[in-house]
Structure 1
Amino acid sequence: MAEEDRPQTPPSPSAEERLLLAVPKKGRLYERVLSILKGAGLNYVRAARLDVAPCTNMPVTVVFLPAADIAKYVSEGNVDLGITGEDIIAESQAQVVELMKLGMGKCKLCFQAPKGTVSSPKELVGKRIVTSFPNITKTFFDSIDPSHKTSIKYVTGSVEVAPSLGLADAVVDLVETGTTMRAAGLEAVGTIMETQSVLISNPHTKHSDLIRLIYERIQGYITATRHCMVSYNCPKDKIELATAITPGHDSPTIMPLLDQGMVSITAMTRTTEVASVMDQLKQIGAVSIVVFDLINCRF
């Protein structure tokens, strides 16, 4: 075969042409974020000890960064897309576009004080506060009293020990289960914000079409993890009751059966509600009720 007749491999996109997607390089959400990337069809190769991983099937490079830095990098345009917490976005005062909430890493940013000492955050004006979120904390006190002289000290971790060491009257920290807080003799006396992980993008990215595609893929995968398909046979005279129980995403699929008095119905339902849905279907006379897991979906 002549050289000019050989199939040509398309050139790989240059580094400048690739979309950069930043994700946390470690932490409690690390494995869940990797599952999202896999569910979105982002196949990448990450060499040992490297934090840059080019995708093999899309013009995307995954960049593994400290979670606290991701919002800033996205805001400044160093990366185009990122996954981080709403609390980090607020603390860094980053200007980003929030594309979607991911429903994971849910917690609250709370005022915590020694048990029985404080009943409201307003009582802490002029006191000593230790926190890893000084900007959010200052904004809160500024909104209560612009002339306040509250001492806000920044620390990077283990803020819950500050009151017991006499270093603070209260702390501002994230609360998920409250176990650490209670072990330190603290109680929540007010919530500044509720937070969870979100998908964000740079407002001026040149990869808007690719970002839309990745967003739709992630949205479809997350929707699939929260839903399942229920299929069952139902008497024709119970269709209205059955479809009220399983309305589906758009509408249920209804198919005729050889038994002319019965139909087969298939519909999407929330995984958390499926046991109750099956009970209700059984009560109206549905039979052969089967539940299927969803791997992925797109709407």
Structure 2
Amino acid sequence: MESTIPADHCKFAVPKKGRLYDQVTDMLKGAGVQYHREPRLDIALCKDLAMTMVFLPASDIPKYIAEGNVDIGVTGIDIVEENGDLEVQRVMDLGFGKCRLCVQAPVVKGVKDVRELAGKRIVTSFPNLTKKFFDPLDEELGVKTSIRFVSGSVEAACGLGLADAVVDLVETGTTMKAAGLEIVQSILTTEAILIANPQSTHKNIVDLLKHRIEGYITSKKFVMVSYNCSPEILAKVTEITPGKRAPTITQLTDGGHAVSSLVKKADVAKVMDELHLAGARDILVLELSNSRM
């Protein structure tokens, strides 16, 4: 694979499958990173950047980046923490792929205190984080928790009699509940993050990608609200729409003002109601496709 990548290219690691793959590819498309991936190939050349996309298992991406095989990539906080001895730069949090790493036990067991599981059998795909969590409990209680690694289908371990509890990721909780498990305690909150090799020689591209992705994320979180108002209520309405930094205010020929301001999508209906009650008129909401702040 290395021989097919131009020597001067920055290498970007993308999770090769699953929901994280879909979310990362949508993000890259929105950020203007253009490439075409041929079926069954794990590399793709970018059209407008000196960069090659490399498709890897998300669990391997921190290792490839730390060792300098790849310059930048996306994985989860949980995976970086599980490989805590690897040196990578956390460039930015991406706001998707959010879930929790939790200790889970069978509902029928009625476990309410995680101390009840110390010294028992735990199955997980995160043995290092699990050991780090249980070690203080083992020391306190004078026991030794048995931690067994499995690469998948962790939630089935209790039902198969392999474990007394599991440590696994919980997003919606549907899989956990279907397996008859419940959360006893959360260990870690995680989401997708952009990481880079601190010694990468492609810092210019890393910085460019960071700005592009920040612009895309802003465009997904905010809309532009535009409205007209009289001078008498300008101070009041701009308090309602202070913007991400500050609103843009333009003088109109009739003595009034036109105001444009970024507003969080989740708040836009409430903000429009408040503007209308305050006396603003011609209130428009404009979707953003991208931005630079």
Band of TM-score, shorter chain = over 0.9
The match for 1:11 is: none
Partner residue of 2:240 out of 235, 240, 245: 245
Letter matched to residue 155 of structure 2: E
Max radius of gyration: which structure?
A: 1
Partner residue of 2:127 out of 129, 134, 137: 134
Partner residue of 2:198 out of 203, 206, 225: 203
> In the alignment, is residue 44 of structure 1 matched against residue 74 of structure 2?
no
The match for 2:166 is: 171
The match for 1:5 is: none
> In the alignment, is residue 100 of structure 1 matched against residue 92 of structure 2?
yes
Q: Secondary structure at the match of 2:223?
A: strand
Cα distance in structure 2, aligned partners of 1:148 and 1:207: 49
The match for 1:286 is: 280
User: Could you state the TM-score of these two structures normalised by the residue count of structure 2?
Assistant: 0.94
For structure 1, list consecutive stretches of 5 or more residues without a partner in the other structure. 1-13
Cα distance in structure 1, aligned partners of 2:232 and 2:219: 31
Partner residue of 1:182 out of 166, 177, 184: 177
CA contact (8 A) 2:138 2:144 kept: no
Q: Secondary structure at the match of 2:148?
A: strand
> In the alignment, is residue 276 of structure 1 matched against residue 267 of structure 2?
no
Q: How does 1:249-260 map to 2 (within 5 A)?
A: 249-260=244-255
Cα distance in structure 1, aligned partners of 2:178 and 2:23: 28
Q: Residues 190-247 of structure 1, C-alpha deviation per residue, up to 9 Å, x if partnerless?
A: 0000000000001211111221111111111111111110000112111111111101
CA contact (8 A) 2:227 2:284 kept: yes
Give, in angstroms, the shift of residue 173 of structure 1: 0.5
Q: How does 1:44-83 map to 2 (within 5 A)?
A: 44-83=35-74
Q: Residues 13-44 of structure 1, C-alpha deviation per residue, up to 9 Å, x if partnerless?
A: x7221100001111012222112112222211
Give, in angstroms, the shift of residue 148 of structure 1: 4.2
Give, in angstroms, the shift of residue 57 of structure 1: 1.0
For structure 2, list consecutive stretches of 5 or more residues without a partner in the other structure. none
Number of paired residues? 285
CA contact (8 A) 1:120 1:189 kept: yes
Cα distance in structure 2, aligned partners of 1:135 and 1:202: 22
Q: Secondary structure at the match of 1:240?
A: helix
User: Could you state the TM-score of these two structures normalised by the residue count of structure 1?
Assistant: 0.92
Cα distance in structure 2, aligned partners of 1:42 and 1:21: 11
CA contact (8 A) 1:86 1:197 kept: yes
Cα distance in structure 2, aligned partners of 1:142 and 1:95: 24
CA contact (8 A) 2:104 2:182 kept: yes
Letter matched to residue 28 of structure 2: L
CA contact (8 A) 2:119 2:138 kept: no
Give, in angstroms, the shift of residue 78 of structure 1: 0.7
Q: Deviation above 6 Å: which 4+ runs of structure 1?
A: none
Give, in angstroms, the shift of residue 48 of structure 1: 2.5
Provide the alpha-carbon RMSD of the alignment. 1.4
Cα distance in structure 1, aligned partners of 2:6 and 2:251: 54
Q: Residues 219-278 of structure 1, C-alpha deviation per residue, up to 9 Å, x if partnerless?
A: 111111111100001121111111111011221111122322x21110011111111110
The match for 1:4 is: none
